[in-house]
Structure 1
Amino acid sequence: MSRTDRKLTLFALTWPIFIELGLRMLMGNADTLMLSRYSDDAVAAVGVANQLVMVVLVMFGFVAMGTGIVISQYLGAGERQKASEVAVVALGANFLFGLLLSVVLVVFGRSFLTWMGLPDELMAEALTFLRIVGGASVLQALMTAMSATVRSHGFARDAMYVTLGMNVLNVIGNYLLLFGPFGLPVLGVLGVSISTAVAQLVGAVVLFIILLKRMDGKLPFGCLIRFPRYAIANILKIGIPSAGEHLSYVSSQVMITFFITSIGVLALTTKVYTQNLMMFIYLFSMAIAQATQIVVGHRVGARDLDTAYQTCMRSLKIGMAVSFVMACLFSLFRAPLLGLFTDQQEIIAVGSTLVLMTILLEPGRALNLVIILSLRAAGDAKFPVYLGVLSMWGVAVPLAYLLGVHLGYGLVGVWTAFIVDEWLRGLMMLWRWRKKKWQGMSLISALKAEKGLAG
């Protein structure tokens, strides 16, 4: 058994992914928490600008999503050379696409923020963050592709260590540039933006070095000259539908954020603080979903479909149970936790209600995450996007406007829309998984054809 094979268990993959995701969320929360000591308006401005950055991350993230799944299936089928070629093609494609989208954010950032209804008093700081952090999005594009490759080979801890280092650099940079010790200038949002971009640059360089080491320096960069069509075709086969589902979700969140800006800056700030806490609640669900995706991909590639099915169902039970327990724990300490971000009682009161509502929200989100990623890993990438677009734009967005704005329930109405959307999609995804149509949608048929085994 190879070193990679020994690592492909749910637990061995879940815990480093859990820590890595936690560190990534801490990186964003560190910015929010440290900015909250500087200005609540700065928090709101960065929160809105970051919505646009997230849209861009999703747009080039589809290559990384497809990469991880395709590599997992090829490794499961014993096609290691093809897995390496897929990794190289993904790096090249994500670099070009990430560079293009970074330019778009820098050039059209003000227009996007204006369209989102950002108040004029927040525009300057939001634009500063968007131009620096958004302009550095190409680094995130490269890192997502490299991280997907490293994880699919079983080295999930490597990405965790890189993220840890990025967090340390980011916090130190924030402290130096936001609070001005040792006589340094206080740069506010500009300082946080520079700190974030520098941490990402260092992380990208280190992760690339690690990738070369883990692949024994055998990444076939020469294949970019002939550009193997099968590699990009398989990546896009999984990645484009996956991107559609992600993009639909993030863009629907942007639309809902637009509704919240119409309620007021206080509501927008409350949303940012509450969602920062919610990130920690669904952290384990995301970790086990990503670990499950890798294991299911390998099992499907090895044609062990029964194990793939049971792996998803076992992960689903664990993810939903842990999400419920964590939501309950956060609800018990909701006021003190929100108090870490702000001392405004109105924000704490409304945010506390929203945290209580996560007891209903998060198990539904866990249901969604685990099954959607398992469906993608098995090659069934189109159904999640079709259902996602229908539910997000047919249920979540109109219901958020109806309850939150039209009927005047504010953020409580918006969170109610989130709950309905997550559970509706989750139950439909469960039905799809249990029907087992995904068993005939993997890359196995393509692998047979390439080997001359297909009839």
Structure 2
Amino acid sequence: MENKHTSKELTLFALTWPIFIEILLHMLMGNADTLMLSQYSDKAVAAVGVSNQILSVVVVMFGFVAQGAAVLIAQNLGAQQSKTAGEISVLSLSLNLWFSLALSALLYIGSKPILQIMDIPPELMKEAMNYMQIVGGLIFVQAMIMTTGAILRSYGHTKDTMMVTIGMNIINVIGNFFVIFGPFGFPVLGVTGVAFSTAISRFLGFLVLLSLLIKRTEGELQFRIFFHFPKDQLKGLLQIGVPSAGEQLSYNASQMVITYFVAQMGTLAITTKVYVQNIMMFIFLFSIAIGQGTQILIGHMIGAGKTEEAYRRAIKSLQLSILISLVIGGIVYTFGDTLLGIFTDEATILETGLFLLLMTVVLEPGRAFNLIMISSLRAAGDVKFPVYIGIASMWGVGVTFAWFFGIYLELGLIGIWIAFISDEWLRGIFMLRRWRKRDWVSMSFVHKNTEIE
């Protein structure tokens, strides 16, 4: 039977441009916090930066459900199995809700010891702790946003998540304006106020996303299983989701260790890293958007048995992503002084930051390899290989090089960037070789289930 969600032809551009806008706005939300806080205090920026580094690891832990759901829903829709896709959607929402509530409680109660492990400067502790207790204590809302958004995108409704993100950004920026600058006699709340603004905008965004999901799926969601966990669907989610999140969890954990190294270099180094990486986000968001759009397409193609089309789609997406990364990276470096000047006028930050942006021109094409090829492998069901290679490279090359060049040879942030470049390029080359070998052709979860049946 023809599925109404796959009867229309999906294209990379149609899927990707709303994803691009959505990710851009998510990044703008984070940058709005950084930019507006920079008018308040550089120390506040550093405190929020370290807290967000920790929270990003937690968010990845929610990703194992969202990633697994995205792949399985796309494959099942491609195979015209809409009922199964609906069951997986509800199961992923239920599973992530209970899991994220437990982690939210842990972050609220354990914020201080977690930050102490990061060895952040004492002058940052109070504000970092306030931010983590509020945003971290309500992190379950972000888990629901991730899961609901992943489901909508897999059904092809990428514009919905984009529009909701626009609304979340508007609310967040307005909230930041009031709590940082205190217009009309409103109390200046600094980091605490920014945390509340972020949490409130996310909560409202989730409510809208959930209502859109119910509307777009038109009764296909199987809410009867919300408090039940069908064994077959749960097994599929975990088989794809856990390894998928494992690669991301390893990456974020390695980034936490590297941030620990940077923290030993002082507050100025932390602040420089935060500013430069906020600018870098605008380079690799193109690759992220193309990677997510490609994953949806390849998932549908694999479900429909179109393996040759899937192979060509990944290669074309990779070529496009590398080209865009080089062009945008060059433009960002050319205007680096101006971009960094938006955040600060500190001479040391400007000088070091500009050189790091030059190194980023080499870094980002390597990151494009990973973002595109890992998404493609994941969509095809080949989820374990990226984890194995990722763990070996992130820790054996990324973390080790960061310590050796950054700390031991005392190259500071330049040494850290050498580690980033080495890790991204090595992993990317391995992922491309894996794709070309085509071992993933026989790994589709939907087809495995069909054979069993």
Same fold (TM over 0.5): yes
| Structure 2 equivalent of residue 58 of structure 1 | 60
Structure 2 residues without counterparts, runs of 5 or longer: none
Measure how far apart 1:261 and its partner are: 0.6
| Structure 2 equivalent of residue 80 of structure 1 | 82
2-structure distance, mates of 1:7, 1:187: 49
Please list, as runs of the form range in 1=range in 2, the aligned pairs for 1:372-383 lying within 5 A after superposition.
Answer: 372-383=374-385
Q: Deviations over 1:240-274 (max 9, x none)?
A: 00111111000000000000010111000000000
| Structure 1 equivalent of residue 137 of structure 2 | 135
Pairing partner for 2:320 from 297, 300, 318:
318
My pick for the range that moved more, 169-178 or 2-11, is: 2-11
| Structure 1 equivalent of residue 112 of structure 2 | 110
| Structure 2 equivalent of residue 361 of structure 1 | 363
| Structure 2 equivalent of residue 32 of structure 1 | 34
| Structure 1 equivalent of residue 349 of structure 2 | 347
| Structure 1 equivalent of residue 69 of structure 2 | 67
Measure how far apart 1:11 and its partner are: 0.5
| Structure 2 equivalent of residue 205 of structure 1 | 207
TM-score between the two structures when normalised by the length of structure 2: 0.98
| Structure 2 equivalent of residue 245 of structure 1 | 247
Q: Deviations over 1:120-141 (max 9, x none)?
A: 1100000010000111110011
1-structure distance, mates of 2:350, 2:259: 19
2-structure distance, mates of 1:181, 1:167: 19
Structure 1 residues without counterparts, runs of 5 or longer: none
1-structure distance, mates of 2:9, 2:186: 46
**2:26–2:169 Cα contact (<8 Å) kept:** yes
**1:75–1:301 Cα contact (<8 Å) kept:** yes
2-structure distance, mates of 1:341, 1:379: 42
Measure how far apart 1:447 and its partner are: 3.1
2-structure distance, mates of 1:111, 1:242: 28
| Structure 1 equivalent of residue 280 of structure 2 | 278
Amino acid at match of 1:222: R
Amino acid at match of 1:141: A
| Structure 1 equivalent of residue 264 of structure 2 | 262
2-structure distance, mates of 1:402, 1:213: 53
Q: Deviations over 1:107-151 (max 9, x none)?
A: 111111101011111000000100001111100111111111100
1-structure distance, mates of 2:359, 2:299: 34
| Structure 2 equivalent of residue 419 of structure 1 | 421
**2:121–2:266 Cα contact (<8 Å) kept:** no
Q: Secondary structure at the match of 2:305?
A: coil
| Structure 1 equivalent of residue 21 of structure 2 | 19
Please list, as runs of the form range in 1=range in 2, the aligned pairs for 1:71-220 lying within 5 A after superposition.
Answer: 71-220=73-222
**1:300–1:442 Cα contact (<8 Å) kept:** yes
2-structure distance, mates of 1:118, 1:347: 19
**2:6–2:78 Cα contact (<8 Å) kept:** no
Pairing partner for 1:303 from 302, 305, 316:
305
Measure how far apart 1:52 and its partner are: 1.0
Measure how far apart 1:228 and its partner are: 1.3
**1:274–1:355 Cα contact (<8 Å) kept:** yes
| Structure 1 equivalent of residue 294 of structure 2 | 292
Measure how far apart 1:217 and its partner are: 3.7
1-structure distance, mates of 2:10, 2:112: 45
Over 3 Å counting, the alpha-carbon distance change for 1:301 and 1:277 in structure 2 is same
Amino acid at match of 1:167: N
Q: Deviations over 1:311-358 (max 9, x none)?
A: 000000000100010000001000000000001011011000000111
Measure how far apart 1:6 and its partner are: 2.3
Measure how far apart 1:197 and its partner are: 0.3
**1:212–1:219 Cα contact (<8 Å) kept:** yes
**1:142–1:204 Cα contact (<8 Å) kept:** yes
Over 3 Å counting, the alpha-carbon distance change for 1:316 and 1:5 in structure 2 is farther
**2:94–2:227 Cα contact (<8 Å) kept:** no
Amino acid at match of 1:395: V
| Structure 1 equivalent of residue 45 of structure 2 | 43
Q: Deviations over 1:200-241 (max 9, x none)?
A: 010010000000110114421102344211111111111100
2-structure distance, mates of 1:198, 1:102: 15
1-structure distance, mates of 2:451, 2:98: 31
Q: Does 1:397 align with 2:410?
A: no
RMSD: 1.0
Measure how far apart 1:3 and its partner are: 5.4
